[in-house]
A = this chain, B = another copy of it.
Amino acid sequence: MGEDLDERKRKILKAIIQTYLETGEPVGSRTISKYTDLNLSSATIRNEMSDLEEMGYIIQPHTSSGRIPSDKGYRLYVNDLIQKTNQDAEVQTLMIQKTDRMEKILKQVVDVLAQNTNYATMIAGPSYHQNSLKFIQLSRINDKQLLAVVVAQGNLVKNQMIDLKESIDEDEILKLNLLLNNELNGKTIGEINLDMITRMKQQAGIHSEVISSVIDAVAETIQPGDEDVPIYLSGATNIFDYPELADSKKAKELMTAFGDKKELAEMIRETAPGEESSNGITAYIGNESPIQSIKDCSVVTANYNLGNGMKGTVAIVGPRRMDYKKVVENLKQLKTQMNALFGNGDAKLEGSTGQDVIDSHSEN
């Protein structure tokens, strides 16, 4: 909308925003006049502020109070922040222990970020875009039951218990094992077609039901649905530290959103930033937020890249008057470190462990 801002207006706006982020209270002309190297009187500032308000960058909550930034104001500020290469990179390296288990890394990252920023942080594990099957192992549990273990590239493992109508012996299991591995190994989701499936079922004869079950497991493993993308969350309760979010109505809404994996998955999917755009870091301010329930918050996301087609997303959720600078710097730092750790290939993703009667533990 309209003209660009001149240098002075820019500086004033920035000062207003920074002060507001610190104090959380509308900032008046006097404050800016005093605590700025502009050497202007409060009256001048007032005039400029009046202009800025007219242009939509700041808002007066009520006649004769100070100004607060509008979403448009924030946006200008944040864009600046993201584009600027952090020359003043006094950001500490994040304390991330390198371990052999992807899930441990993710937990660490999400915890460190939540702690550093004091906002709610979530991270989605890498999604394997074009994953292929490594091998399948059928084992006999008893007469009427099989255990299928499906292993995909990147060592994702999935167990599937299969109930049989007809009993089965070791010999037949061996045959099925061969059949499945011959047909499926190395295939991606796109390469497995109905033709192959039908052919396998025919060959399996009486045990064709097994084929169906295994195929299902394979599908879930090499192309997990939204619900299966694991999401780690940390510091959800940090939101209570910000009065503007802590009233029970909003807090309930937020906690519900944080507790609902589907909602989170949607959010993270929606926010996955275009890799090209500005550093891979994107900010959603207030109403720009990807899901309705957090429209009182801002979200800053970054995607981390592990080469080899795997990538995931981190999102930090805080109040509109979030310390964007700190957040963006932390995310930049994270990207740098993740690159350094995993930059070349997927080698370090090994060592995964799946488990259990129950595959998704706590849930809110």
Known: A256-B237, A357-B125. A155 touches B141 (CB 8 A): yes
A252 interface residue, CB < 8 Å from B? yes
Chain A residues touching B, majority SS: mixed
The CA of A160 and the CA of B221, in the complex, are separated in Å by: 17
**Binary contact readout A189-232 vs B (1 if CB under 8 angstroms, 0 otherwise):** 00000000000000000000000000000001100000010111
A103 interface residue, CB < 8 Å from B? yes
A359 interface residue, CB < 8 Å from B? yes
On chain B, the residues within 8 Å of A232 by CB distance are 361-363
On chain B, the residues within 8 Å of A157 by CB distance are 147, 159, 161, 355-357
- Whether B141 lies near A233 (C-beta < 8 A) is no
The CA of A100 and the CA of B107, in the complex, are separated in Å by: 31
On chain B, the residues within 8 Å of A317 by CB distance are none
The range of chain A's interface size is 35 or more
- Whether B251 lies near A362 (C-beta < 8 A) is no
Contact of A230 (CB < 8 Å), options: B159, B354, B358: B358
Sample of 4 further A-B pairs with CB below 8 A, known A102-B357, A247-B248, A248-B251 = A157-B161, A161-B353, A240-B251, A248-B248
- Whether B355 lies near A359 (C-beta < 8 A) is yes
Assembly stoichiometry (copies): 2
A154 interface residue, CB < 8 Å from B? yes
A151 interface residue, CB < 8 Å from B? yes
A285 interface residue, CB < 8 Å from B? no
On chain B, the residues within 8 Å of A100 by CB distance are 163
The CA of A149 and the CA of B125, in the complex, are separated in Å by: 23
**Binary contact readout A335-364 vs B (1 if CB under 8 angstroms, 0 otherwise):** 000000000000001111111111111111
A291 interface residue, CB < 8 Å from B? no
Within 8 A of B (CB), among A126-165: 134-135, 137, 139, 141, 145, 147, 149, 151, 154-161, 163
